[in-house]
Amino acid sequence: GLVWYLWVAPGEHSVANLGLTLLGVLWIGFLGSFATLFLGLGKQMEDVSPALTSNPGIGVLLAAVIVAVSHDVGAFFVGKYMGSTPLSAASPNKTQEGMIGGVLSALVVTVVIIGFGGISPIGDSIPRTIVFAVLCALAAPLGDLCESFVKRDLKVKDMGSVLPGHGGVLDRFDALLFVLPTAYFVTVLFNVWTLSAS
C-alpha cells in the first residue's frame, strides 16, 4: 500500500486513502475469515472423530447466514411499516422498531430452520439455538450501523457500483461480517469445537 501511493498513485490524502484501504482489508478480510475458520475447525473435528458424518462448521456457517439474512429482512419490513423511533444518528432511516423486528425475525426463523430442523451443532438443542440466534441477531445491526457510519463520513451513498441503490455489495454483507465472529465466540462458549472431538 505504501509503495502504491508512493509510486503508482501519488497525490493528496494518500495516508487517508491507505488507512481506508487497510480498514477494508481488516473489515472484510478479517471478519469474513471467520467463515473459513468454521470450516477449518469442523474439518479438524471430522478428522479426529469418525462418528461425524459431515463438517460441523457448515452447520455453524449456515446458522450464522440465516440469522443475518432473516435479521436484515425482518428489520427492513418492520422498520418500513412500523418504524418511527430513530435508532442512531449514523443511519437516520434505521429505527428501534426495525431493530427489534429484525432480532425477533432472526430468532423465529433460526429456531424454526436450525432448531426444529435439528441442524447440527447449533440445532442440537432448542435453548442453544435461542441463545445463538439472540446473541448473533444483536450483533447484526452493529454491522449495518458501522457501514452506515463509514458511508456517512465518506459522504457516499453506495460503497460500490455493482449494486447501485442497494448501498453496494458490502451493504448485503455488513450484518453478516459482525455475525460471523459473534457466532464463533458463542460456539466457543457452547464448547462446540471440542465436544465431538473428545
What digits encode the pLDDT tens for the residues 152-178? 887 776 655 544 554 456 677 899 999
Q: Cell match 430513530: residue? A: 86
Q: What is the maximal distance between C-alpha atoms in the chain? A: 59
Strands, E assignment, the chain = 86-88, 91-95
* CB 59, CB 43: distance < 8 Å: no
Provide CB contacts within 8 A for 191, sequence distance 6+: none
pLDDT at 196: 42
Model pLDDT, residue 12: 86
Task: For residue 97, give the H/E element and its range.
Answer: helix 96-110
Does 32 score more than 90 pLDDT?
A: yes
Rounded CA separation 106/136 (Å): 9
Lowest model confidence (mean pLDDT) among 45-59, 89-103, 113-127, 148-162: 148-162
Residue 163: its pLDDT value, please? 44
Please give the model's pTM, rounded to 2 decimal places.
0.85
Whether cis (ω within 30° of 0) applies to the bond prior to 56 is no
pLDDT per residue as tens digits for the range 99-121: 999 999 999 999 999 999 999 99
